[in-house]
Amino acid sequence: MSFTQATSLLEDALQKSQCSDATGLCFPFAMDTANEFATKDNWNDVHAGPKVVHGKITTSLLKTPIDHAWVEHEGRAYDYQNNPRKPEGTPIADFVRAYNPKRMTAYSAEAAMINNVRTGKYGPWEPHEQHFPGVPHTHEKINE
């Protein structure tokens, strides 16, 4: 799948999204944001390009960890709930202090797009749903 094809598929999928509030929008937001930052040279490399990170977060208000998705790119975290106030992102260290994230898996923009197209959902993806193209560095298991 080419970068241009993937971007077109993402735009179509986001337009079809029926979500109307913040709950659950972190997953499509993370894919969209990663693709905005991705270039033809880094969109399939989880180490050099933007990472779509799936994990769990907790806060002082949330005692039970919840599934969450965000993007890490060039030392900053971008997440749906903070985007209206911080469209420039948050330093990752500040994001970690605020949300105590437990990163589970990081995907390249390409791997996230392929998982979305194959499963019809933005995440989180179960292990049997994950597909990683034959290109090195498309994902990493973190399990912090």
Which tens digit of pLDDT belongs to each residue from 19-38?
334 457 899 999 999 989 99
- What is the pLDDT confidence band of residue 141, given thresholds at 50, 70 and 90? low
Which tens digit of pLDDT belongs to each residue from 34-69?
989 998 888 888 888 999 999 988 876 767 888 899
The pTM of the full predicted model, rounded to 2 decimals, is 0.75
For the chain, the domain total comes to 1
CB-based burial, 27-63: b 16+ in 10 Å, e otherwise: bbbbbbbbbebbeeebbbbbeebbbbbbbbbeeeeee
- pLDDT value of position 136: 44
Domain region containing 123: 3-141
